[in-house]
Structure 1
């Protein structure tokens, strides 16, 4: 059984690390790396990250598609054979890093750290309103969103969740579906951790911003395509949003001419909120590689119907 890595946006060093750990875990594995894949017919397992669209059609004997990270939207946006399952990476370290990043953004807003950084540049001593009262709303309450709610609640900060479907039991106040307005009425810090699907692409748009409480602060750590970028700066300039912390963008790296660079109330980080650890991820892929050989159930398989 052959395995191929297709991840053109990763550095040579990153790819070399993945190859080394695959060979360590499964010595003698038949491994090919894009773009030097000469035996397409021998590939039965493909490991993808931001792959060239349409390449999956090149593997006539494909039996399993593995995402190199927790997200699978880059796969679902492409042609996927009906009978080929898709798996993703589940790593507690991903959750740890993501939650810490989001909590950092929430507290920076709550305690006005960005404002004080601007005050330092102008040598302004302003003791007014050192804390902004906040209620945090997390859109997308899977493993990541649920952990954010847990940690925020542990800090004594009010927090509520929002998702697409009802939940029979959930440990935090929760809204779903058509209850979006009720959810937005509760919060003034909005965190996007939604999976990227046809329904959620462009979810962060001017219509949603108009439904928010005036002055709501936005944190997007999910996917760049959740945000209609042209709608963000007008929402900030109108006061509907007070600012944003963005880790993901429609185009990455963010072009130097992009207006987000110049907007003082938008904080930018280069897609570093949570990074896949190949030493944690590769064993899961090898386990599924072996499960496929043995006709055993796969781990971390996603639902193609739900898109995650």
Structure 2
């Protein structure tokens, strides 16, 4: 198992095991998990913290028997860079008419399409935390205008920021390309729905708004996205996450001509890059330093 090997390589002499030897294993002090079985961590008496193997933590909170210890999400340059690469790729592909030109190539059509300037396009990033701000920092030098929406107020240089329900309409009305990087919580589940999509800017330099979801599958109502595409409320969509994964072969998103599908590959968790981050956090915690990336349990992220 790559994660076990990487953690052992980064952990020095620290004993690392694949799973507890008993339900009340006293040797376990830290857990590094992804979709752990319910109750696995419940009775570990010396557990000090739980680390997620990815940026998301909703899989951890799916366990209703979770012990009352800090839950820590991965905060790492490698993960942020991979996500930003995906966002920049998909923004540029939609912006530079990638779908239309691929269609023309298949039909051997030589036709130059009108192309707006990047300065005419506002990329709205919904979920303006570390990942969202990192993506914004990569997009700004290309000339795009940036709008950011988050649950609470943020001030970010080079971006127009919006917050809370009071700021959502203004954010959506300003957005040409919507990038969703929200965590999955009770409040955000199904947020990409008909009501939200219909409030996006309709007259854009691209001919309509574009959706890019690289957050969590549970954020989106897939029937609403298909309906928005078919009614020309949305021009195109790039989707990396889905309600059911792997995406079933029968799902119409696979074959929709204006949908680009990737298999939850936007920001792969690389054990060799992320295991040292986890082990450094553990070492720092044992020196009495605060953990970085501790999840607010009430907020869910």
Structure 1 and Structure 2 fold alike (TM over 0.5) = yes
State which drifts further: 249-258 or 286-295. Answer: 286-295
For residue 193 of structure 2, what is the aligned residue in structure 1? Answer: 205
For 1:161, which of 142, 145, 148 is the aligned residue? 148
Matched, 1:66 2:51: yes
Matched, 1:255 2:248: yes
Q: CA deviation at 1:46?
A: 1.6
Distance, in Å, in 2 between the alignment partners of 1:100 and 1:26 is 29
Matches within 5 A, 1:214-293: 214=202, 215-291=208-284, 293=286
Distance, in Å, in 2 between the alignment partners of 1:260 and 1:89 is 30
Distance, in Å, in 2 between the alignment partners of 1:290 and 1:147 is 26
Count residues with an aligned counterpart. 290
For residue 190 of structure 1, what is the aligned residue in structure 2? Answer: 178
1:244 alignment partner, SS class = strand
Q: CA deviation at 1:298?
A: 2.4
For residue 7 of structure 1, what is the aligned residue in structure 2? Answer: none
Give the root-mean-square deviation of aligned CA atoms: 2.0
Matched, 1:151 2:138: yes
TM-score, with length taken from structure 1: 0.87
Q: CA deviation at 1:82?
A: 5.7
1:273 alignment partner, SS class = coil
Distance, in Å, in 2 between the alignment partners of 1:21 and 1:170 is 35
Distance, in Å, in 1 between the alignment partners of 2:152 and 2:24 is 41
Q: Is there any run of 5+ residues in structure 1 with no aligned partner, and where?
A: 1-14
Matched, 1:53 2:38: yes
Cα shift readout 1:135-163 (whole Å, capped 9, x = no counterpart): 11111111111122222221111121111
For 1:141, which of 118, 128, 146 is the aligned residue? 128
Distance, in Å, in 2 between the alignment partners of 1:135 and 1:27 is 47
Distance, in Å, in 1 between the alignment partners of 2:43 and 2:291 is 23
Q: Is there any run of 5+ residues in structure 2 with no aligned partner, and where?
A: 203-207
2:16 alignment partner, SS class = strand
TM-score, with length taken from structure 2: 0.89
Q: 1:266 to 1:58 in 2, by over 3 A?
A: farther
Equivalent pair of 2:200/2:209 in contact (CA under 8 Å): yes
Equivalent pair of 2:6/2:275 in contact (CA under 8 Å): yes
Moved over 6 A (4+): none
2:169 alignment partner, SS class = helix
State which drifts further: 294-303 or 223-232. Answer: 294-303
Matches within 5 A, 1:25-64: 25-34=10-19, 37-42=20-25, 43-57=28-42, 59-64=44-49
Equivalent pair of 1:57/1:79 in contact (CA under 8 Å): no
Q: CA deviation at 1:211?
A: 1.1
Distance, in Å, in 2 between the alignment partners of 1:91 and 1:33 is 23
